[in-house]
Amino acid sequence: MFSLKLIVFIAACIPLIWTVSLGFFFGHCPNPIQKCLYGSGEWALVFLLFSLAVTPIRKFTQLELLRQYRRLFGLFSFFYASLHLIIYISFEQFFDWQLIYEDIVQHRRIMIGVISYLIILLLALTSSPSAIRWLGTKRWRILHRLVYPAAIGAVLHYLWLVKLDTSKPKLYGIILFILLSWRIISLARQKIAINRSIR
Ligand code: HEM
């Protein structure tokens, strides 16, 4: 089981190696920094959606071993989002904090990206077993439902910044809508079952 987790871990690092190699070495890319900024942002969103897809897939397939990958995918989303932020601060804005502040307050697409990132950061900081013990399972579950607003924010961030072809952010939006609908339906079913057992 450990080796499978290691394989998934290595696979999750491939987008990083792929983006950097295409950007800087093999892709003849005119703007490698931009390639890395876009690549890291897109993979942060993809891993966020992976982490949301784990529970429905686990319920459908009855594969309990999938449970452990939800946190791994969530942490990879945090990793790629942090890389995205670092590239933005250093290579896009050259640590000009005034410019960064203006960019955030003047552009809703950047503002929503920052809000999503802060939620992902909070979720990553509280993802350990000791944080679950500290918060208590019920409070921890409620807090971690924030992953949905984070994903909605990330899709809007993408949608609002593309100028021409909106097909990709729309596709991610549809996937998120399906995952969110599944979550709402399964929560409603749980509540109905609890109410029936009380009566
Ligand atoms: C920390 C706050 C964030 C900032 C300052 C930020 C900034 C940016 C910038 C400047 C771009 C390029 C925009 C352009 O050239 O017009 C971008 C693209 C993008 N960002 Fe963010 N972002 C943030 C957070 C996030 C998060 C949390 C996610 C996903 C979880 C994300 C996903 C994306 C995606 C998918 C793209 C487009 C990539 C593409 O076009 O292929 N960003 N972001």
Stretches where the chain sits below pLDDT 50 are: none
Q: What's the whole-model pTM score? A: 0.94
- Give the whole-angstrom CA distance, residue 97 versus residue 165: 31
- Give the whole-angstrom CA distance, residue 101 versus residue 191: 44
- Give the whole-angstrom CA distance, residue 146 versus residue 127: 13
pLDDT (0 to 100) of residue 1: 54
CA of 2 to the centre of ligand 1 (A): 33
- Give the whole-angstrom CA distance, residue 199 versus residue 192: 11
Residue-wise pLDDT for 17-31, tens only, equals: 988 888 777 767 888
Pocket test for ligand 1, best of 43, 48, 120, 161 (most atoms within 8 A of CB): 161
